[in-house]
Amino acid sequence: MNTFVWRMAWRESRGNLNRLALFVACIVLGVAALVSITSFGDNLNRAIDDQAKTLLGADFVADSRIEFSPEAEALLDSIGGDQTREVRFTSMAFFPKADNARLTQIRAQEGGFPYYGVLETVPANAKSTLDEGDNALVDDGLMMQFGVDVGDSVKIGQVTYMITGRLISIPGESIAQGIAGPRIFIPLRTLEATGLVQRGSIVSHVRYVKLEDGSAEALSSLKEELDPKFEALRLDMDTVEDRKRSLGRTFGNLTRFLNLVGFIALLLGGVGIASSIHVYIKRKISTVAVMRCLGVGTSQALWIYVIQAAGMGLIGATTGATIGVLVQVILPAVLNDFLPVDIDFGVSWSAIALGMFIGVTITALFALNPLVAIRNISPLLAIRQSFETESDLPTDPLKWALYGVVGAGILACSLLLADNFEFGFWYFIGILIAFSLLGALGWAIARVFKRIFPRNSGFTIRQGIANLYRPNNQTTVMIMTLGFGTFLIATLFVSRDVLLNQINISDAKNQPNLVFYDIQTDQADPLLNVLASYNLAPLQDVPIVTMRMSAINGETLEELRANEKRRIPGWMYEREMRSTYRDSLSATETVVQGEWVPVAPDPFGLIPISVEKGVFEQLNLALGDTILFDIQGIPFETTVASVREVDWQQISPNFVFLFPNGVLEPAPQFRVMVMRTEDREQAARVQQQVVREFPNVSAVDLALVLSVAESLISKVSFVIRFMALFSVFTGLIVLSGTVIASRYQRLQESVLLKTLGARRKQVLAIMSVEYLVLGFLAALTGLFLAYFAAWAISYFVFETVFIPNFANIGILMAAVMSLTLLFGLLNSGDIYRRSALEVLREG
């Protein structure tokens, strides 16, 4: 390649800088999205590394679902250092000022936690007040919800505490965790007085440890020494490194997912680039033909424009990377509620390099195909204005080879961003299907309009519609870019509706909407009386017996853990399970194997139980296998008599192991009652009275679950919508690009119309018809795909009914059409203003 090619590439681009600026803009946002997300991920990892110890607030944490045994206590004491004891459980908290209660996460603490990081409270020293009396620190969000202030009281179990501080943040925990389960800190010494921790209650016992030598080496050798001892004592040990790994996994997945959402913006930009270059090269045919006449070789002509495309790719990627670096300042604010650490701004060179590499690669891939058409421009075109018809399908084998290269390049970029072959591959296939469908629809629409052309309608409508299938039309590219953007955003909205609908369906008539649990046997009758005073009767009244599994077919759990055939879930090994007994199956259960035995034939013999299908398969059980349970210290030998399928989505107590009547009746137990209240007001009133009279009883109110789910889903979908905006804006830039790229042709048409007497209003009306129809079709196609995706998600993932929300369809449709019309007309504004003579002279 000689200097002539470089010089021509530069000179040739000078007069086209405006047009090239739009090519550049096509990839700017895609690269910006990638750079901002990857930089954010890098900064997050750095923050996690820098603030590692604050993730736990201690050097390590030991926890167990059962009370620490004397041996465990002795072992923990022998480690020394500073230690904080905590007992964690869920319970209702009643706020007398608001006369209202809510299920909360109680943390009864004693000690200097946190040892690293800050427990942020208002007032700042509020934590120390826990040592001074019956004081409590309450989650800020919860206090705002109930309109209570510092100095007001909260009743937990039998104890009324004075609120001495608002909890703003806890080291290593995000705000979202507080939304799901608002936290209340109380002094450990007051725990017993609450009366909430009783046999069978689900409670975590936690010990935060700060070592005298908290170095990584010391911690690592201590962990090695403690691991076998902890395992023997059924203690779980969580170190900073463990937490970092798990956070790294979670946020790694999040940033990868967001990167893939951002990558779509880049792909849309790629489509824009391909279409713009296609039009650009068409305008360059005579220039290339003249150059060829003067002796420019085919490869030289090609290189001139390849250099221009590469140059604009580089400029676009650099601009995108710069914007990306700036956008990442906003991201922590967007994701703030999910972050367990504070993130500082930092430039990640590796993120910039990755974003620019992928940006330039995508530009090159999409630009190459229209560029190779230069090879076929004959010098003869300089002396002869020939009209060469193009077939719909490219016959040039190089073009087909390039399609293969484009596909391989997109697959490689997907794999690089997904960091997981399977996910990256299916992502690529999804993209391929969506793009192919959109492309095919665009192609079909142009042809359908040609066939069903409204010959009898007015001049402006006929002209506008004809623009959809004329040479150099924008139909396919517009359907692809706008359609994909609409598809992406609509899928998010629709999936959110599906998720919320699913909860709403449970709110349907006759379904339970209020659950009381942890009811002691002696509280059952008085509680039933309270319910009766509200005209309520439980739909289900279920006894709960806690137990531990100790052996399967004679093999102890320790032996089973080493057995690869049976995958013992951690929860089964570590904690007590809750089971029930009854003589019939509930509406949510179906026996799929064996036979359900309603009453045990011999209470002292082998007890026939029923096992849930998933666990049955996970444990690799067979009918007739024996399982030994330890129920409050007494061994019970059971046999698997049946397997049940359970619909876990229903609001009703469901169980993995189901005992027949005639065995567990004498065992210590508590009850769960499930009912349906008439409305939310009745639910609130009955909850208040129950919590006041039976402080240990907890309630799950479906209205609350719904509002919590809605709030969390809204926060998550806000983050995804933020990323999807990159795609939408890219779609609009591509729209501007295609409008401007085809302006030359429009200009000539408009000038001719103007010369023949068309008024400004008529020219604008023709364009409006075209853009409105394009916007309508793009939105319709995108929505069609989104609804198909949402149907698939509901059917296959949530296994629920999908009911489309037609109001939302209308709003989205109107929005996309208005934006298309607005951007189309904004970019065509000066077409009518140009003088006819000037344009005809250019032609």
Partner 1 sequence: MLFAENLTKTYRSGERSLTVLHDISFDIEDGSSNAIVGPSGSGKTTLLGLCAGLDHPTSGCVSINGISLSGLSEDALASVRNQHVGFIFQSFQLIPTLTAIENVMVPLELRGERGIEPKAKALLTDVGLGDRLHHYPTQLSGGEQQRVAIARAFINDPVLLFADEPTGNLDSDTSAAIEDLLFGMNRNFGTTLVLVTHDLELAAKTQRIIRLKSGHILSDTRTENA
Q: Which chain residues interact with partner 1 by CB under 8 A?
A: 2-4, 7-8, 11-16, 286-287, 289-300, 378-380, 382-384, 841-842
Non-local (6+) Cβ contacts of 412 within 8 A are: none
> Which of 298, 590 has the CB closer to partner 1?
298
What distance in Å separates the CA atoms of residue 416 and residue 403, rounded to the nearest whole number?
Answer: 20
What distance in Å separates the CA atoms of residue 31 and residue 320, rounded to the nearest whole number?
Answer: 5
Find residue 87's DSSP bridge partners.
108, 205
> Which of 14, 455 has the CB closer to partner 1?
14
What distance in Å separates the CA atoms of residue 109 and residue 86, rounded to the nearest whole number?
Answer: 4
> Which of 431, 747 has the CB closer to partner 1?
747
What distance in Å separates the CA atoms of residue 572 and residue 550, rounded to the nearest whole number?
Answer: 10
Q: Say if strands 577-582 and 203-210 run parallel, antiparallel, or are unpaired.
A: unpaired
The CA-based diameter of the chain, rounded to the nearest angstrom, is 106
**Residue 272 Cβ vs partner 1, minimum distance, rounded to whole Å:** 23
> Which of 378, 540 has the CB closer to partner 1?
378
**Residue 14 Cβ vs partner 1, minimum distance, rounded to whole Å:** 6
**Residue 379 Cβ vs partner 1, minimum distance, rounded to whole Å:** 4
What distance in Å separates the CA atoms of residue 804 and residue 498, rounded to the nearest whole number?
Answer: 9
What distance in Å separates the CA atoms of residue 68 and residue 794, rounded to the nearest whole number?
Answer: 44
**Residue 251 Cβ vs partner 1, minimum distance, rounded to whole Å:** 49
Instruction: Tell me the CA distances in angstroms from 815 to 360, 680, 720, 733, one per residue in order.
Output: 32, 35, 19, 16
**Residue 293 Cβ vs partner 1, minimum distance, rounded to whole Å:** 5
**Residue 309 Cβ vs partner 1, minimum distance, rounded to whole Å:** 16
Asked if 772 and 820 count as a contact pair (C-beta separation under 8 A), the reply is: yes
> Which of 3, 456 has the CB closer to partner 1?
3
Question: Which of helix, strand or coil describes residue 139?
Answer: strand
> Which of 19, 205 has the CB closer to partner 1?
19
> Which of 454, 843 has the CB closer to partner 1?
843
What distance in Å separates the CA atoms of residue 442 and residue 446, rounded to the nearest whole number?
Answer: 6
**Residue 303 Cβ vs partner 1, minimum distance, rounded to whole Å:** 12
Element spanning 310, H or E: helix 298-327
Neighbours of 177 (CB within 10 A): 17
> Which of 17, 801 has the CB closer to partner 1?
17
Match 């800050």 to its residue by tokens.
118
What distance in Å separates the CA atoms of residue 820 and residue 802, rounded to the nearest whole number?
Answer: 29
Instruction: Tell me the CA distances in angstroms from 746 to 247, 735, 739, 768, 839, one per residue in order.
Output: 55, 15, 9, 13, 11
**Residue 722 Cβ vs partner 1, minimum distance, rounded to whole Å:** 40
Provide the total of helices (H) and of strands (E) in the chain, helices listed first: 26, 21
> Which of 294, 634 has the CB closer to partner 1?
294
**Residue 840 Cβ vs partner 1, minimum distance, rounded to whole Å:** 13
**Residue 388 Cβ vs partner 1, minimum distance, rounded to whole Å:** 11
What distance in Å separates the CA atoms of residue 142 and residue 129, rounded to the nearest whole number?
Answer: 19
| 348, burial (CB in 10 Å: exposed 0-12, middle 13-18, buried 19+) | buried
**Residue 15 Cβ vs partner 1, minimum distance, rounded to whole Å:** 4
> Which of 149, 838 has the CB closer to partner 1?
838
> Which of 20, 785 has the CB closer to partner 1?
20
Question: Which of helix, strand or coil describes residue 733?
Answer: helix
User: Tokens for 453?
Assistant: 């052309």
Find residue 612's DSSP bridge partners.
644
- What is the phi-psi region of residue 295: left when phi exceeds 0, alpha when psi lies from -120 to 50, beta otherwise? left
**Residue 24 Cβ vs partner 1, minimum distance, rounded to whole Å:** 18
**Residue 384 Cβ vs partner 1, minimum distance, rounded to whole Å:** 6
Non-local (6+) Cβ contacts of 618 within 8 A are: 566, 567, 569
> Which of 2, 395 has the CB closer to partner 1?
2
Match 């567990």 to its residue by tokens.
664
**Residue 475 Cβ vs partner 1, minimum distance, rounded to whole Å:** 28
> Which of 78, 389 has the CB closer to partner 1?
389
Asked if 222 and 385 count as a contact pair (C-beta separation under 8 A), the reply is: no
Vertex 430: Cα angle to 424 and 432 (nearest 5): 100
> Which of 509, 841 has the CB closer to partner 1?
841
- In 3D, which of 480, 410, 421 has the Cα closest to residue 445? 480
